[in-house]
Amino acid sequence: MNPITQLKTKLPAPLQRLGDLAYNYWWSWTADHLSLFSTIDPTIWQACRHNPVALLESVSYERLSQIAENPEYLKRLKTLARQFDSYMTERDTWASRVAPQLSHEKPVAYFCVEFGLHESLPIYAGGLGVLAGDHLKSASDLGVPMVGVGLLYRQGYFRQRLNRSGWQEDYYDDNDFEHMPLELVRDEFGQPVTIKVRIRQRTVRIQVWKVRVGRVELYLLDADRSDNDPIDRRLTGHLYGGNRETRIAQKLLLGVGGVCMLEALEIEPSIYHLNEGHAAFALLEVARYETERTGENFFEVEPRLRKQVIYTSHTPVPTGFQTFSADMMDSFFADYWPKLGLSREEFLSLGARRLGDPWEPFSMEVLALRLSRAANGVSRRHGEVSREMWHILYPECETAEQVPISHITNGVHARTWTAPLLNDLYGEYLGQSWAREMGNTEIWTRINDIPDEDLWQRHCILKERLIAHTRARVRQARLGRGEAADDIAAVERLLDPDTLTIGFARRFSPYKRGGLLFRDLHRAIRILSNRRRPIQLIFAGKAHPADDEGKRIIQRLMEWCRHPSLRDRIAFIEDYDIYTAKLMVHGVDVWLSTPRRSLEASGTSGQKVCLNGGINCGVLDGWWAEAYQEGPNGRGLNGWAIRKEADTREQEIQDQSDAETLYELLEEQMAPLFYQRDRHGLPRGWITLMKASIRMGAPCFNTDRMVAEYVTRLYFPEIAIPNEPVLASA
């Protein structure tokens, strides 16, 4: 009996369709997702991190019976189940009309080292994983036959807590896969499907789990089996954890193991799409299968392999995180390259930037670029940077502009990231089909029809929800640290719903400059604590466990949180996850992004903010360099740009220049506009900017547009693009 059937047998008959919904993440982006499960038992729902399977298994049968006799709930469930069945059985989709070459028998295989679908499946670290999750959701909505391939981490990415000195402490919780929305893949005899992967001289047995994402299936590889060596069981323990040997072993499992898994499940992809270079070893395994099948050598099968491979880069600099020494490659692949008909030197050259250099490390990114038909960056600027960065691999190209690396700018899954309050408002004024026709710019011109007071009222509700969540999390953290009673009581004064609120949430890496606003502490205090026009800040994010400099940035932020002049105006939310991310992008007034130039490949958090009427302020890099629009008076029409570049290569001078620009924007533009109210108490000028942010951001920076571009520009560039609007399923 599969887990869905098992769960349904535990539910009262009228509620059994909840079992189908609980095991398919489609429920998480429906209009009714907010209360579908939380209504059953809000306390348990919160405690289980919004895991519908754990909720239904934990709640008492008496409570389920009460719900089962509630006619209003049963009507909602019946309607939602009908929508789900229609969605799952629809065959006339955008993809079926535009790219009939794709089929469930020949899908796209989408490889990524992390997937961020929902907070109940914590196998993601940040932007790369959330982008991958959004990619799968839009592929499902557009009807693109796709299977995701990743790893299932027993302990996921680390959990974060800050000690009394503000220093980040890392800890891990075990994921309970048996009570999560995923199922172990079994054969016709009920036994787990397993594959074998050679890691050095050991055979590692891998089992496979399936996650349903609408019409798309995500397969996750898991080495935590009792018949594996204890060392090998830990290979799928942590995301981005362990030493360099652990990392290469994980990449081997993802790439080689992922291809073996597809073979075992009799899935024959038409396209292999590598989202970042972590899975590049998959290409070697595809080549090995082909050499074994045909008797040809690697160089004979390589042209056919390349026709099937798309590579998306997310890094604007060559990274040592994905390079390995020749000795380490010898250790893991000495018995592998003969299977490809390659010598050691030929094999190592596949990953070398400079051919013939014996000290050149083996790069996963280089391997992916060498063996892909098409490669792309994730914003226009990132495409330019990538062509410069990898020009060395294309000696036939005289200039970097000729390097065959294009760009497809990232987007976000609007149906996931738009607050239900605004979803409802858009449905009323834009039409009920707005979320299906994200790229229809005519629809988004109707944003101006929304009464200012309605948009502002709903934004204020979302802002109050964010502040309530922030206070609850800060209080929990202070209690956990055993802080004084006065400090715990002071949480009630933390943040003010009527104050201009800026959000900053991302990985705390030095290049993202999380402390830029406090470069001149005295000036920052003067701006934030202005009595007439105060400003408050909400921070969230983690530093990588090995990044002490990133941890020091967080520690300094915590010091500023305790400053007598700032303690009520700055909050840091610990243990950032998708749930907190949603509340932040729903509720902030301004989203701040301050990366060092050319180091932000794209960024997507600010795109989520646009969908919810928030306004962006950031360095003109990544997606914001494309989205920002300037008016005739030199001021932004849809946000603010930190665009002043110092005439220097000294980063300290550039940081100082950018901080000065930010202070000027806060004092001279943001705060005056926010606090300028009419006789009804409405900030009309600010609301005009909110509407522009929505109107200019939503139709362009979404994953429906992004996935459609992958299909028509990279997967099948030879097809004539029909006059077919990108239309998602209802």
Q: Is residue 358 scored above 80 in pLDDT? A: no
Q: How high is the pLDDT of residue 648?
A: 62
Euclidean distance between CA atoms 470 and 13, whole angstroms: 39
Q: Assign domain 417-466+499-701 to its CATH superfamily.
A: Glycogen Phosphorylase B; (3.40.50.2000)
CB-CB contact of 14 with 74 (8 Å): yes
Q: Which of 592, 571, 610 is nearest to 467 (CA)?
A: 571
Residue type, 720: A
Chain centroid to CA 304: 32
Q: Is residue 582 scored above 80 in pLDDT? A: yes
- 540 pLDDT band, cuts 50/70/90, is very high
Euclidean distance between CA atoms 513 and 420, whole angstroms: 32
CB-CB contact of 530 with 668 (8 Å): no
Task: Name the pTM for this structure.
Answer: 0.97
Average pLDDT over residues 439-445: 95
Q: How high is the pLDDT of residue 718?
A: 83
Euclidean distance between CA atoms 103 and 5, whole angstroms: 28
Q: How high is the pLDDT of residue 34?
A: 79
- Which residues are within 8 A (CB) of 33 and not within 5 positions of it... i.e. 6 or more apart? 27, 420
Euclidean distance between CA atoms 507 and 434, whole angstroms: 32
- Summarised one tens digit per residue, pLDDT across range 190-211 is 999 999 999 988 999 999 999 9
- Summarised one tens digit per residue, pLDDT across range 360-387 is 899 999 999 999 999 999 999 999 999 9
By three-state DSSP, how is residue 520 classified?
Answer: coil
As a dihedral over the C-alpha atoms of residue 77, residue 79, residue 83, residue 88, rounded to 10 degrees, the angle is 50
Q: How high is the pLDDT of residue 416?
A: 97
Q: How high is the pLDDT of residue 218?
A: 98
Task: Name the H helices within 481-619.
Answer: 485-489, 521-528, 548-561, 578-587, 605-611
Q: Is residue 355 scored above 80 in pLDDT? A: no
CB-CB contact of 30 with 55 (8 Å): no
- Summarised one tens digit per residue, pLDDT across range 114-157 is 999 999 999 999 999 999 999 999 999 999 999 999 999 999 99
- Summarised one tens digit per residue, pLDDT across range 219-269 is 999 999 999 999 999 999 999 988 999 999 999 999 999 999 999 999 999
- Summarised one tens digit per residue, pLDDT across range 93-107 is 999 999 999 999 999
Q: Give yes or no on whether 100-312+324-351 and 417-466+499-701 have one common fold.
A: yes
Q: How high is the pLDDT of residue 31?
A: 82
User: Could you give the percent of the chain with pLDDT greater than 70?
Assistant: 98
Per-residue tokens: 710:
């992958």
Q: How high is the pLDDT of residue 601?
A: 94
Euclidean distance between CA atoms 615 and 669, whole angstroms: 13
Q: Is residue 320 scored above 60 in pLDDT? A: no
- Summarised one tens digit per residue, pLDDT across range 388-441 is 999 999 999 999 999 999 999 999 999 999 999 999 999 999 999 999 999 999
Phi and psi based region of residue 601 (left: phi greater than 0; alpha: psi -120 to 50; beta: remaining): alpha
Q: Share the mean pLDDT of the chain.
A: 95
Pairing of strands 362-363, 615-619: unpaired
Q: How high is the pLDDT of residue 135?
A: 98
Euclidean distance between CA atoms 537 and 347, whole angstroms: 51
Average pLDDT over residues 15-39: 94
By three-state DSSP, how is residue 363 classified?
Answer: strand
Largest CA distance in the chain: 81
Phi and psi based region of residue 3 (left: phi greater than 0; alpha: psi -120 to 50; beta: remaining): alpha
Average pLDDT over residues 465-490: 97
| Domain ranges, ordered by start, for the chain | 3-89, 100-312+324-351, 417-466+499-701
- Which residues are within 8 A (CB) of 254 and not within 5 positions of it... i.e. 6 or more apart? 111, 113, 149, 150, 151, 221, 278, 279, 281, 282
Euclidean distance between CA atoms 466 and 677, whole angstroms: 23
Euclidean distance between CA atoms 446 and 165, whole angstroms: 50
Residue type, 468: A
Euclidean distance between CA atoms 504 and 514, whole angstroms: 8
Average pLDDT over residues 158-182: 96
Per-residue tokens: 174:
């075990």
Euclidean distance between CA atoms 218 and 150, whole angstroms: 8
Which 8-state DSSP code applies to residue 361?
A: P
- Is the alpha carbon torsion for 654, 660, 663, 669 positive or negative? negative
CB-CB contact of 305 with 283 (8 Å): yes
- 557 pLDDT band, cuts 50/70/90, is very high
Residue type, 381: R
DSSP bridge pairs for 150: 220
Euclidean distance between CA atoms 45 and 30, whole angstroms: 18
Fold category of 100-312+324-351 in CATH: Rossmann fold (3.40.50)
Q: How high is the pLDDT of residue 657?
A: 93
Hey, how many other C-beta atoms are within 10 angstroms of the C-beta on 101?
A: 15
DSSP bridge pairs for 572: 539
Hey, how many other C-beta atoms are within 10 angstroms of the C-beta on 453?
A: 12
Euclidean distance between CA atoms 10 and 7, whole angstroms: 5
- 318 pLDDT band, cuts 50/70/90, is low
Q: How high is the pLDDT of residue 319?
A: 62
Distances in whole angstroms, Cα of residue 481 to Cα of each of 46, 164, 477, 478: 22, 6, 6, 5
